[in-house]
Amino acid sequence: ELKVEQNPLFLSMQEGKNYTIYCNYSTTSDRLYWYRQDPGKSLESLFVLLSNGAVKQEGRLMASLDTKARLSTLHITAAVHDLSATYFCAVDILGTYKYIFGTGTRLKVLA
């Protein structure tokens, strides 16, 4: 069974702190995507990771992909309240165009 697991599922952190969200997947894939979802809204694309070793950064967020370990990380640096949202990773199943979404991580940044 194809699984994409994220941890933690819930994360409450203080402003200014750093933290990492992990995305583990069970299928072979070399494409992984990170999204942000605000309550009642659809998905906002954050990062597209297309190869082993890919690292991308935007503002306080940095994402990386290790296809051999089947692991992606989303690192948050010096969190601010505006980063409060649910974050999903999605794995592109090799040979198809289908995504399998991770379980999601609900992040709350406390002022």
Partner 1 sequence: GAVVSQHPSWVICKSGTSVKIECRSLDFQATTMFWYRQFPKQSLMLMATSNEGSKATYEQGVEKDKFLINHASLTLSTLTVTSAHPEDSSFYICSAEPGGRVGTYEQYFGPGTRLTVT
Q: Which of 46, 63, 88, 91 binds partner 1 (CB under 8 A)?
A: 88
Q: Look up residue 48 and give its two tokens.
A: 């597209």
Q: In terms of residues, how long is the chain? A: 111
Q: Least Å distance between CB 54 and partner 1? A: 12
Site string for partner 1, 12-31 (x = CB under 8 A): -------------------x
Check residue 50 for interaction with partner 1 (CB under 8 A): yes
- The span from the CA of 60 to the CA of 87, in Å, is 14
How deeply is 21 buried, as exposed, middle or buried, from its count of CB atoms within 10 A (0-12, 13-18, 19+)?
buried
Stretch that binds partner 1, among 14-22, 59-67, 74-82, 86-94 (CB under 8 A): 86-94
**DSSP 8-state class, residue 81:** G
Q: 76 phi and psi, to 5 degrees?
A: -110, 125
Instruction: Report the interface residues with partner 1, using CB under 8 A.
Output: 31, 33, 35, 40-43, 45, 48, 50, 88, 90, 92, 97-104, 106
